[in-house]
Structure 1
Amino acid sequence: MKQYLFLGDSITDADHLFDPANLGYGYVSLLARRPEYTDTTFVNRGHEGFTIERVLQMLRRDGLGGHWDAITLLVGVNDIPVELFTSHSRIPLEFSALYLEVLDLLCRHTSTILLLEPFLFDEPAEYSAWHSYIEKESQIIHDLALSYSAHFVPTDAILRQAARCEGVDAITTDGIHLTTRGNTLLADLWHQAFTALSPD
């Protein structure tokens, strides 16, 4: 039985603590229902509001257990309001250092790490100032993925394009979180990336 661990913020969390299966109602749950993963255990340890620092604190406190066949991390959007609305300057230097430390920990427990690009939609308009920070985070994550032989999974441009084609309300509930359709697209992106790693 393979075991896949998912870490991150509310997009991963998706109210998993209120779900009898403890998977939530987002992309992790959708993946677990796919017939390709019938013999796989999915574990959701996402937490609403988590920044990269909070992920690191959780891993230091709780550990990761033994070996995982794959670990996925999606985090970054909550670091942006810390940058914008507090006196704490985080992006790029601190974000990069914290993310690197998280990767150091993950590498001790798996040989397969998928790093999902943080994303943000074009509406509401108040998020327009956030996009440059998403771009900085994405570049950091992409570069660290190369350094750690992890796998960077692009999401931002793809999800934003889907919102333009299908309508913003079809993909996102508030410019950050995803509808069922949005979560389906995110699950598809994860599945495509993971299948490319292990085509058998």
Structure 2
Amino acid sequence: MKENARILFIGDSITEWGRNEDPEGMGIGYVRIIHDYLMTKFPSKQLEIINKGIGGNRATDLQDRWEKDVLSLNPDYVSVSIGINDVWRQLDNPDMAQVYPEQFEEILTGLLEKTNAQLIVMEPTVIDEDVHSEGNQKLIPYVEIVRSLAKKFDAILVPTHQDFIEYLKTGTTYKLTTDGVHMNSAGNMLMATSWLKACESLLK
């Protein structure tokens, strides 16, 4: 990692997670854990970590604010976590205009194309802590799109969905979310460790 680096996280409420109430703007989610790890791991580096998560965001919302919240800040690293609400709205608000996989891919492709930074793309996590839930089945094409775009743009892929599914397959009853989507402290820890492991090559 560069001696002076600006690392920007963008996404929905899972990324936001209390940042507006936090004087440092990190929140209490996975971004906070990553921030604290990097600050203590690299005390001599000048790292600036920015949380640009906004609750309820879908890919269309990122498209609307990408110039202001990403490009204008000229980050060195951009970590993108999106897709949960693109699927969740199909389940809890089916009458609204939906973001289906084809549009999701088109929007993300356009955003990544215009971003001059090291890209880090995170798989959408889970919808309900059940491998076979309708939400998790509907997430599959979105996860596959993220994986494909990681290859296309030589981005670091954070296998968040895979890691959550593997956790659920163990049969443990210990929860990772408060409501099937939003993370508790254990879920945030899993997201953060997944990110840190995937970014290991950067963290030197």
What TM-score, normalized to structure 1? 0.87
Task: State the shift of 1:158 in Å.
Answer: 1.4
Deviations 1:93-129 (A, max 9, x none): 1111111111123x23x1x11100001154379x821
Aligned positions of 1:1-150 closer than 5 A? 1-34=4-37, 35-38=40-43, 39=45, 40-62=47-69, 64-84=71-91, 85-86=94-95, 88-105=97-114, 107-108=115-116, 110=117, 112-123=118-129, 128-150=133-155
Task: State the shift of 1:71 in Å.
Answer: 0.6
Separation in 1, partners of 2:172, 2:199: 28
Task: State the shift of 1:11 in Å.
Answer: 0.6
Counterpart of 1:161 in structure 2 is: 166
Task: State the shift of 1:88 in Å.
Answer: 3.3
- RMSD of the TM alignment (CA)? 2.3
Separation in 2, partners of 1:30, 1:68: 20
Separation in 2, partners of 1:87, 1:11: 22
1:194 aligns with 2:169: no
Instruction: Report which of the two has the higher share of helix.
Output: 1
Separation in 1, partners of 2:155, 2:17: 24
Task: State the shift of 1:159 in Å.
Answer: 1.7
Task: State the shift of 1:69 in Å.
Answer: 2.1
Separation in 2, partners of 1:129, 1:63: 32
Change in Cα spacing, 1:5 to 1:62, as seen in structure 2 (3 Å) is: closer
Change in Cα spacing, 1:37 to 1:135, as seen in structure 2 (3 Å) is: farther
Segment of structure 1 superposing worse, 10-19 or 162-171: 162-171
1:175 aligns with 2:184: no
Q: 1:123 touches 1:168 (CA, 8 Å); kept in 2?
A: no
Change in Cα spacing, 1:186 to 1:36, as seen in structure 2 (3 Å) is: same
Separation in 1, partners of 2:75, 2:111: 15
Task: State the shift of 1:163 in Å.
Answer: 4.3
SS of 1:132's equivalent?
helix
SS of 2:71's equivalent?
coil
What TM-score, normalized to structure 2? 0.85
Q: 1:162 touches 1:171 (CA, 8 Å); kept in 2?
A: no
Q: 1:118 touches 1:156 (CA, 8 Å); kept in 2?
A: yes
Deviations 1:112-155 (A, max 9, x none): 11100001154379x82112221100111111111111122111
Separation in 2, partners of 1:29, 1:199: 17
Deviations 1:63-93 (A, max 9, x none): 5225322110000010013434136353221
SS of 1:100's equivalent?
helix
